[in-house]
Amino acid sequence: MKRTELGRTGTTVSQVALGCMLMGTYTDQPTSYRMLDAFLGAGGDFLDTANCYSWWHAGSAGGESEELLGRWMADRGTRDDVFLATKVGGIVTDVPAALVDGRADWDVASKLFEGTGADVVRRGVDASLRRLGTDHVDLYYVHVDDPATPLEETLEALDGIVRAGKARHIGWSNVRTWRLERIRQLADRHGWTAPVAVQQQHSYLRPAPRTDRAGIAGPELLDYLTAHDDLSLVAYSPILQGIYDDPDRRAAHRMWSAYSGPDSEARLAVVGKVAADLGVTGNQVALAWLLHQRTPAVVPIVGTRTWEQFEAFRPALDVELGAEHLASLEAAGA
């Protein structure tokens, strides 16, 4: 697996991160261990989790993913072999209220997040370190940008965590471009630790013009990150839960409304043609396209629930998109 620099930190990570959100809940321990072992064996080291994963699973309160990773690192002795990222701010303070018929109601949940006040951030990192069984994480994200808390309060707390050696780097997720610029200005003004990574939803399909979601990387953010290469774009949902190969899955995807339209239909058609030309799947083409991006460069997070899904992603690492295929993919759209 190829490697890429995280921002301009001098630290390199694997070109793909393994999303561990479902480990310990939807994915059992033996399967999780098998995927983690295989990812490490293939040269991967970037592991992505959060303190809230997965509160929406029946009987879960969050933290199971971190606990499983802690057990795996202890059992395998792999802490020094991985680049470990976790997050704070996504815990839901009233889980029953955020569940409807056993499923997460994200509109309700978004009003119940724990926020990023200084005490939440400080307690959060200590709790994550206990679950992970380590004295530091490599990257500590604000999971959900919190406009109700002064940025100065959050940044000062994060800076204290880095100075205490509990995190090496910080990042931000689900954030608007103007807020990101404000964060960077405040960090520079006060001499606080600045983010080196931004985690947003990003895929080959472009959000529809009417879409206004803080968590989706739109043209403005992509331009901003191209101009500021000290920030890495870490892309979650890079294949949008596998919609490139499955129209039924596409129609059922809760986020499809953010993408549906003539532009996406045109781009899906080209993905299908390229996939047929190369003898691969549409999902693999979409992931390979992200790995070819340089403006900005992208580190996709591949979240796999089953071993079969894990095996399906691996061939994308070897898909070589030639100039003609890249040009057709770039030009596609309405």
59 pLDDT more than 90: no
Give residue-wise pLDDT tens across range 234-276: 999 999 999 999 888 888 888 898 999 999 999 999 999 999 9
Give domain status of residue 263, yes or no.
no
Residues in the chain: 334
Residue type, 269: A
- Of 330, 333, 310, the closest CA to residue 321 belongs to 330
Q: How large is the average pLDDT for residues 294-323?
A: 96
Give domain status of residue 126, yes or no.
yes
What are the C-alpha distances in Å from 154 to residues 51, 182, 268?
17, 13, 40
Q: How many domains does the chain have?
A: 1
Task: Provide the token pair at 170.
Answer: 């910080």
Burial 182-218 (b: 16+ CB within 10 A, else e): ebbebbeeeebbbbbbbbbbbbbbbbeeeeeebbbbb
Lowest-confidence pick of 113-117, 252-256, 301-305, 307-311: 252-256
Task: Provide the token pair at 209.
Answer: 């013009």
Domain range enclosing 167: 3-244+289-321
Give domain status of residue 81, yes or no.
yes
* Residue 72: pLDDT band with limits 50, 70, 90: very high
Give residue-wise pLDDT tens across range 112-162: 999 999 999 999 999 999 999 999 999 999 999 999 999 999 999 999 999
Give domain status of residue 260, yes or no.
no
3-state SS, one letter per residue, for the chain: CCEEECCCCCCEEECCEEECCCECCCECHHHHHHHHHHHHHCCCCEEECCCCCCCCCCCCCCCHHHHHHHHHHHHHCCHHHCEEEEEECCCECCCHHHEECCEECHHHHCCCECCCCHHHHHHHHHHHHHHHCCCCEEEEEECCCCCCCCHHHHHHHHHHHHHCCCEEEEEEECCCHHHHHHHHHHHHHHCCCCEEEEEEECCCCCCCCCCCCCCECCHHHHHHHHHCCCCEEEEECCCHHHHHHCHHHHHHCCCHHHCCCHHHHHHHHHHHHHHHHHCCCHHHHHHHHHHCCECCEEEEEEECCCHHHHHHHHHHHHCCCCHHHHHHHHHCCC
Q: How large is the average pLDDT for residues 306-329?
A: 96
- Is the model more confident about 254 or about 300? 300
CATH of the domain at 200: 3.20.20.100
Report residue 68: phi and psi, to 5°. -65, -45
Task: Provide the token pair at 76.
Answer: 């395998």
Which pLDDT score is estimated for 286?
Answer: 98
Q: How large is the average pLDDT for residues 72-78?
A: 98
77 pLDDT more than 90: yes
Which pLDDT score is estimated for 53?
Answer: 97
Question: Can you tell me the distance from the alpha carbon of 165 to that of 129, in angstroms, rounded to the nearest whole number?
Answer: 12
102 pLDDT more than 90: no
Which pLDDT score is estimated for 334?
Answer: 86
Quick one: CA torsion of 214, 247, 28, 32, rounded to 10 degrees?
A: -70
Which pLDDT score is estimated for 251?
Answer: 83
Give domain status of residue 113, yes or no.
yes
Q: Answer positive or negative: Cα dihedral of 115, 119, 122, 128.
A: negative
Give domain status of residue 216, yes or no.
yes
Q: How large is the average pLDDT for residues 10-36?
A: 98
* Residue 201: pLDDT band with limits 50, 70, 90: very high
Give domain status of residue 284, yes or no.
no
Which pLDDT score is estimated for 212?
Answer: 87
Q: What's this model's pTM, rounded to 2 decimal places?
A: 0.96
210 pLDDT more than 90: no
Give domain status of residue 281, yes or no.
no
61 pLDDT more than 90: no
Question: Can you tell me the distance from the alpha carbon of 128 to that of 316, in angstroms, rounded to the nearest whole number?
Answer: 32
On average, the pLDDT of the chain sits at 96
Which pLDDT score is estimated for 253?
Answer: 83
